Amino acid sequence: MVVLSIGIIYYYVIPEDSIWIPKCPWWLLTGTYCPSCGIQRFLHAFLTGRILEAFRMNPFLLISVPYATLAVIGKWYNINGVFCHMNKILYSRKVLTTYVILFFSWWGIRIIFKI
């Protein structure tokens, strides 16, 4: 229900134009992008069908969103061990290490190239 409510809000509200949508604290403190800067604009563009524009806002989210979705489904809905195999993969040391490396690499790329 909460996810649906957030989806409805981001479908109808344009984050740049709203005073009620919180701004990135990292951006406000440093003036540089964090790895998730653009997530609100990404959600709005994605939910309104502008996939390419969403990708341009933050390409790393196209990796993060499916991974996070599978991780949540695997943990919350693992009734009778249905998702045990998937969880072993998602939470394996290699996958988590790769994700963390990609996360910090993306952060560095955003700061260096100002994207």
Per-residue pLDDT of the chain (115 residues; tens, 9 = 90+): 888 899 999 999 999 899 988 888 999 999 998 988 888 999 999 999 999 999 998 899 888 989 999 999 999 999 999 999 999 999 999 999 999 999 999 999 999 998 8
* Confidence (pLDDT) at 70: 94
pTM above 0.85, yes or no: no
* Confidence (pLDDT) at 100: 95
* Confidence (pLDDT) at 87: 95
CA pair distance 62, 17, nearest whole angstrom:
24
User: If you write DSSP's letter for every residue of 3-40 in order, what string do you get?
Assistant: HHHHHHHHHH--GGG-SSSPPPHHHHHHSS--TTTTHH
Q: Where are the alpha helices (DSSP H) in 31-92?
A: 39-47, 51-57, 61-76, 84-90
Q: Are 10 and 44 in contact (CB under 8 A)?
A: yes
CA dihedral (105, 109, 110, 112) in degrees, to 10, reads: 130
* Confidence (pLDDT) at 13: 92
* Confidence (pLDDT) at 36: 86
